Amino acid sequence: MMTEACTLTAQHTVVATPIGDLTVVRAGHPLTGLYFPHHWYKPDPVTFGPRNDRGFEGVAGQLEEYLAGTRTMFDLPLEPRGTEFQLRVWELITQVPYGQTTSYGDLARRLGGRENAQEVGAAVGRNPLCILIPCHRVIGSNGKLAGYAGGLQRKQKLLELEHAEVTRVRRVLAPALW
């Protein structure tokens, strides 16, 4: 029943980017999905509704700016769908500043410590709005990259992009320090 209702209002498009084609899904106005090719836990494409390349210009433009290093925050209506726990984890992820990282364990502690890092990792892995909910900023407690729905190479590229932009801005704002 839920899938049927979602299919009636859902629409999608595919946006070509330097890190691969991204499937963008919306239900009405809010975005409900942003998926890489071969994305982990990608819903059945039938739930994406028909393809409609109109009306997605805002998300396409903001993704282009982000991937070009000229946008650090997204201003898009998001409506991720998940369990209460997943929604709490995803909300915490949105609070991780651009160019910074956090660990699965840190997120678990911020949730009150009842859930462990593995449970947080499972929720992170089910993030339906990759990049927009920046789960690429979540790494292992040892500082190493851990799983990413779009693959570790993409995660590395996104982190490098953000680090390079943060470094560039710091150099412009405080050249004497460099």
Catalytic positions? 135
Q: Cα separation of 73 and 125, whole Å?
A: 21
CB 93 within 8 A of CB 80: no
28 — alpha (psi -120 to 50), left (phi > 0) or beta? left
The DSSP result for 8-54, as a single string, is HHEEEEEE--TT--EEEEEESSSEEEEE-TT-TTPPPGGGG-SB--S
Short-list 155, 139, 150, 154, CA closest to 102: 139
Please enumerate in sequence order all residues whose Cβ is within 8 A of that of 60, keeping only pairs 6 or more positions apart, or say none: 13, 15, 24
CB 33 within 8 A of CB 24: yes
